[in-house]
Amino acid sequence: MKKLAIMGAMVEEIEPLLEYFENVKLTEYANNKYYEVNYKGLDIVIAYSKIGKVFASLTASTMIEKFGCDTLLFSGVAGAINPKLKIGDMIVANKLCQHDLDITAFGHPHGYVPEGSVFVESSKELREVAKAVAKEMGIEVIEGTIATGDQFVHSSEKKDFIEKTFQADALEMEGASVAVVCNALNVPFFILRAISDSADMDAGFDFDEFLKSSAKISADYLIKIVDKL
Ligand code: ADE
């Protein structure tokens, strides 16, 4: 690996990461801020994209195409679907899909467009590193499917639809778009999320309450993974 990209969606998701780094060089590009550091001999670019699939795609593409990153790690929070996932628990995506991509009118399955695929798989190698780190730390991290869409989900109906349609374990608003970009550009990627809410009627309240603490849980574990790369 020559250069590592670390991404979040919201400022709260990258603030706990930036605390680990010194001598950060700031570059402003395409209405966003990119933080470049050398950490233990590794060149890293850090950025938050802003919320949603479009901003996340732009940031992931920029980190790869402009900054030359050849591996991408994402850290942030998610809403739980799998009842095993409680607030503060972590999930590593083994595959991701777009739950709001819908051309079923033309007979295609949910999440599919011609020449694409419903699911994009993340890097097995990076997941193996994460597993080894979790074992070393004595923590449990669930591996599962993450569904992404441009909606903050806060209803049981929507959550049930995503669960039934994609067998997803958690949902958020950026992961699958980052996955599509990385897959197209041949860049191994890893999506980590700590649960901030359960995507139900309390989700808005829980998200506000747990965004910072769950973002920190995700960031702290991500740094332990970076230490092994
Ligand atoms: N990220 C964290 N919680 C979420 C939710 N309920 N819906 C979409 N993205 C989220």
CATH number at residue 217: 3.40.50.1580
Ligand 1 binding pocket (C-beta < 6 A) is: 77-79, 152-154, 171-173, 196-197, 199, 203, 207
The residues that bridge with 45 in the sheet, in sequence order, are: 5, 36
Question: Quick one: pLDDT at residue 142?
Answer: 96
Angle at 56 between CA 53 and CA 58, to 5 degrees: 110
Question: Quick one: pLDDT at residue 30?
Answer: 96
Q: What is the 3-state secondary structure (H, E, C) of the chain?
A: CCEEEEEECCHHHHHHHHCCCCCCEEEEECCEEEEEEEECCEEEEEEECCCCHHHHHHHHHHHHHCCCCCEEEEEEEEEECCCCCCCCCEEEEEEEEECCCCCHHHCCCCCCCCCCCCCEECCHHHHHHHHHHHHHHCCCEEEEEEEECCCCCCCHHHHHHHHHHHCCCEEECCHHHHHHHHHHCCCCEEEEEEEEECCCCCHHHHHHHHHHHHHHHHHHHHHHHHCCC
The closest residue, in CA terms, to atom 3 on ligand 1 is 79
The residues that bridge with 144 in the sheet, in sequence order, are: 93
220 is catalytic: no
Structural domain count of the chain: 1
Q: Cβ(16)–Cβ(56) under 8 Å?
A: no
Name the amino acid, one letter, at 134.
Answer: A
CA 139 to ligand 1 centroid distance, Å: 23
Catalytic residue among 13, 100, 172, 174: 13
CA 152 to ligand 1 centroid distance, Å: 5
Report the mean per-residue pLDDT for the chain: 97
Question: Quick one: pLDDT at residue 1?
Answer: 72
Angle at 151 between CA 16 and CA 44, to 5 degrees: 30
Question: Quick one: pLDDT at residue 126?
Answer: 98
Q: And the tokens for 73? A: 């790690």
What is the C-alpha to C-alpha distance for residues 107 and 31, in angstroms, rounded to an integer?
Answer: 38
For the chain, give the longest Cα–Cα distance.
Answer: 53
Q: Which domain holds residue 149?
A: 3-226
Q: What is the pLDDT along the chain (229 residues), one digit of tens a residue?
A: 789 999 999 999 999 999 999 999 999 999 999 999 999 999 999 999 999 999 999 999 999 999 999 999 999 999 999 999 999 999 999 999 999 999 999 999 999 999 999 999 999 999 999 999 999 999 999 999 999 999 999 999 999 999 999 999 999 999 999 999 999 999 999 999 999 999 999 999 999 999 999 999 999 999 999 999 9
- Predicted ipTM? 0.99
CA 201 to ligand 1 centroid distance, Å: 12
CA 171 to ligand 1 centroid distance, Å: 6
13 is catalytic: yes
The closest residue, in CA terms, to atom 6 on ligand 1 is 199
What is the C-alpha to C-alpha distance for residues 217 and 45, in angstroms, rounded to an integer?
Answer: 20
* Closest-lying ligand 1 atom to the alpha carbon of residue 203: 6
